[in-house]
């Protein structure tokens, strides 16, 4: 029997966006580090362990692929902050259809990791130089139904990254390798 996950369900999370916009550089640094942390977690793991699907849920490799799958959403939302004028951020596909259909377990892990690193770098190139006025601009988040600043969006992405990194770590350390 597989142990119950200790990682809280993503959709049950709530978020407090009361921190200052001055955390923007810290969040960019945190986001820039996600590809390296992901690579470190999966390094040296057997394919059998990476592809294992306990209780028919996502494997560690599928979680990694999901991080890559969401980069276009994060980039689109960043673009909405930069362009201004949007009343609501792009709606996410809450069914994760892209990840379910991507067949990440059939792809080379190195391809997923390299794609994620490239996509994350592109996102950061768009947001790293945002000034305080841009960082403070608000747009409604469609699921949370809260106004979100660019800095809040970056925090949300970083928390999403950490959620999946924790789940990957948990899956990879669930049993013998």
With 90 as the cut, is the pLDDT of residue 125 above it? yes
Percent of all residues in the chain with a pLDDT value above 70, rounded to a whole number: 95
> What global pTM score does this model have?
0.92
Residue-averaged pLDDT of the chain: 92
Q: How far apart are CA 31 and CA 17, in angstroms?
A: 17
Q: How does pLDDT run across 22-52, given as a tens digit for each residue?
A: 999 999 999 999 999 999 999 999 999 999 9
Burial 115-124 (b: 16+ CB within 10 A, else e): bbbebbeebb
CB within 8 A of 164, min separation 6: which ones? 63, 64, 66, 67
With 50 as the cut, is the pLDDT of residue 165 above it? yes
Residue 4 has a pLDDT of 53
CATH class of 21-172: mainly alpha
Q: Measure the CA dihedral 37/38/42/43, to 10°.
A: -50
User: In 3D, which of 26, 29, 23, 32 has the Cα closest to residue 132?
Assistant: 23
Lowest mean pLDDT among 7-21, 50-64, 157-171: 7-21
Percent of all residues in the chain with a pLDDT value above 90, rounded to a whole number: 81
Residue 116 has a pLDDT of 98
């Amino acid at each position: 029997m597989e142990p119950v996950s200790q990682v809280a369900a993503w959709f049950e999370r709530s978020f407090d966006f009361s921190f200052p916009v001055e955390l923007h550089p810290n969040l960019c640094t945190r986001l820039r580090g996600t590809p390296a942390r992901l690579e470190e977690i999966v390094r040296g793991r057997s394919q059998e362990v990476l592809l294992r699907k306990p209780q028919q849920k996502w494997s560690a490799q599928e979680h990694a692929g999901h991080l890559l799958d969401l980069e276009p959403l994060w980039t689109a939302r960043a673009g909405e902050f930069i362009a201004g004028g949007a009343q609501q951020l792009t709606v996410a596909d809450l069914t994760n259809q892209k990840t379910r259909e991507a067949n990440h377990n059939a792809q080379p892990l190195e391809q997923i990791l390299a794609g994620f690193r490239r996509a994350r770098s592109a996102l950061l190139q768009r947001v790293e130089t945002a000034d305080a006025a841009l960082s403070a601009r608000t747009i409604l988040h469609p699921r949370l139904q809260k106004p979100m600043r660019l800095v809040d969006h970056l925090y949300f992405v970083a928390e999403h990254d950490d959620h999946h990194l924790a789940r990957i770590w948990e899956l990879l350390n669930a049993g013998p390798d």
